[in-house]
């Protein structure tokens, strides 16, 4: 018994349309892979290996974040180191002037302008900010660490009160000329020293915290990445500059003035050493940040290569698939056009 199989133009057209739709989807995927060099659907392609791929990318993202943070830390430390260096250089120059002024007849007048200017510069340096945060504030990065030493300020008011309580008159009074070396020495070593030690320093001069900012600079390292205005070197400079600019020095006797200068020389010399040590510590941290960043970038490259090995496709093979699918789609479209021309009318 013989049977006849019927093939309709509708069936052929439907098959061609399905082929075109399917190949267009495959072409989109192949084109994406040929362009990016990466699987169009990584999860589908890797299957159970997707978890490792996600973990590698998460590690890379974390490293990127730390590297970005290190960039900000580097900027902060660079500005901090610059300010410390400037203050140290200014202090060294001032020390030379102090030594020269000690025995000069008009030594007080020689040194007063630079002492006052240096005190302003010190406050300005300690109130430096970077990226919206104060560098020397410790954990208090939102407020200027050190108050300006001017009339009406808490710091000057405290010094004025101490001077008045000790001598019975203000710094501008005529009685300043009668202050003896021993009286001035006692004042400097007690009441005046206390203004630059805790708790007076923290109440009248500084809003900075002793605790400083810590930053993660690698997957395993967290280091201190800021400096507090409460460091001894800064206090010593503030004390030296204040005593030479605001204790009535131009009216003091030569012997009493020399007591002030000798105290200031000791303070400035100590501050220079303190700043050198502090600058060395900051420099060490700068080097650690730089080394950590270099290592992180190497780790990132290693992880990235592992991801590439998992996700990448053969660009040549992907290009061949693109060309093949384009040819198949064009052929199917041509056949569809031919099928649409077939009509029973042509045979009637």
Quick: pLDDT tens for 223-272: 999 999 999 999 999 999 999 999 988 899 999 999 999 999 999 999 99
Instruction: Tell how strand 214-216 and strand 129-130 pair up.
Output: unpaired
- The pLDDT confidence band at residue 30, using thresholds 50, 70 and 90, is low
Q: Provide mean pLDDT across the span 199-221.
A: 94
CA–CA distance, 113 with 115 (Å, rounded to integer): 5
What CATH superfamily is the domain 54-302?
f41 fragment of flagellin, N-terminal domain (1.20.1330.10)
pLDDT at 59 exceeding the cut of 80: yes
Measure Cα distances from 139 to 74, 122, 144, 148, 212 in Å.
Answer: 18, 20, 12, 20, 5
The answer to which of 104-113, 137-146, 191-200 has the lowest mean pLDDT is 104-113
Q: Provide mean pLDDT across the span 17-42.
A: 57
Give pLDDT, residue 41. 53
CA–CA distance, 227 with 258 (Å, rounded to integer): 33
- The pLDDT confidence band at residue 304, using thresholds 50, 70 and 90, is confident
Picking from 96, 88, 81, the residue whose alpha carbon sits closest to that of residue 281 is 81
- The pLDDT confidence band at residue 107, using thresholds 50, 70 and 90, is confident
CA–CA distance, 136 with 230 (Å, rounded to integer): 8
Do 86 and 122 contact (CB within 8 A), yes or no?
no
Do 39 and 45 contact (CB within 8 A), yes or no?
yes
Q: Provide mean pLDDT across the span 101-123.
A: 90
**Mean pLDDT for the chain overall:** 84
Length of the chain: 348
The answer to which of 103-117, 155-169, 202-216 has the lowest mean pLDDT is 103-117
pLDDT at 347 exceeding the cut of 70: no
Give pLDDT, residue 344. 47
CA dihedral 66, 69, 74, 77 (to 10 degrees): -120
Instruction: Tell how strand 222-224 and strand 133-134 pair up.
Output: unpaired
pLDDT at 81 exceeding the cut of 60: yes
Picking from 150, 153, 127, the residue whose alpha carbon sits closest to that of residue 140 is 127
Give pLDDT, residue 19. 57
Give pLDDT, residue 305. 83
| Percent of the chain surpassing pLDDT 70 | 74
Look at 123 and 46; give whichever has higher pLDDT: 123
pLDDT at 33 exceeding the cut of 60: no
Look at 23 and 67; give whichever has higher pLDDT: 67
Q: Provide mean pLDDT across the span 136-161.
A: 94
Whole-structure pTM value: 0.77
The answer to which of 8-17, 77-86, 102-111, 269-278 has the lowest mean pLDDT is 8-17
pLDDT at 43 exceeding the cut of 90: no
Q: Provide mean pLDDT across the span 299-321.
A: 72
pLDDT at 42 exceeding the cut of 60: no
């Amino acid at each position: 018994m013989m049977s006849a199989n019927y093939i309709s133009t509708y069936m052929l057209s439907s098959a061609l349309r399905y082929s075109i739709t399917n190949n267009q989807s495959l072409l989109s995927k192949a084109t994406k892979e040929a362009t990016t060099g990466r699987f169009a659907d990584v999860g589908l392609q890797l299957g159970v290996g997707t978890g490792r791929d996600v973990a590698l990318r998460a590690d890379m993202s974390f490293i990127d974040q730390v590297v970005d943070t290190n960039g900000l830390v580097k900027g902060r430390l660079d500005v901090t180191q610059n300010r410390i260096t400037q203050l140290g250089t200014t202090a060294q120059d001032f020390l030379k002037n102090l030594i020269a002024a000690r025995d000069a007849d008009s030594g007080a007048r020689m040194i007063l302008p630079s002492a006052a200017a240096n005190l302003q510069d010190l406050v300005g340096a300690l109130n430096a900010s970077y990226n919206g945060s104060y560098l020397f504030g410790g954990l208090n990065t939102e407020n200027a660490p050190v108050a300006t030493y001017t009339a009406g300020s808490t710091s000057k008011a405290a010094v004025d009160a101490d001077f008045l309580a000790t001598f019975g008159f203000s710094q501008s009074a005529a009685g300043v000329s009668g202050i003896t070396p021993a009286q001035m020495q006692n004042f400097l070593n007690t009441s005046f020293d206390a203004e630059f030690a805790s708790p007076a320093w923290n109440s009248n001069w500084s809003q900075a915290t002793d605790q400083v900012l810590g930053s993660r600079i690698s997957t395993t390292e967290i280091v201190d990445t800021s400096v507090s205005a409460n460091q001894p070197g800064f206090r010593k400079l503030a004390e030296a500059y204040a005593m030479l600019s605001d204790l009535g020095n131009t009216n003091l006797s030569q012997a009493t003035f020399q007591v002030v200068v000798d105290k200031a020389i000791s303070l400035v010399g100590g501050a220079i050493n303190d700043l050198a040590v502090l600058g060395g510590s900051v420099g060490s941290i700068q080097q650690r940040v730089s080394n950590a960043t270099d290592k992180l970038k190497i780790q990132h490259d290693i992880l990235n290569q592992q991801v590439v090995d998992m996700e990448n496709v053969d660009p040549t093979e992907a290009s061949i698939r693109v060309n093949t699918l384009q040819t198949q789609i064009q052929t199917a479209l041509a056949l569809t056009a031919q099928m649409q021309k077939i009509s029973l009318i042509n045979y009637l």
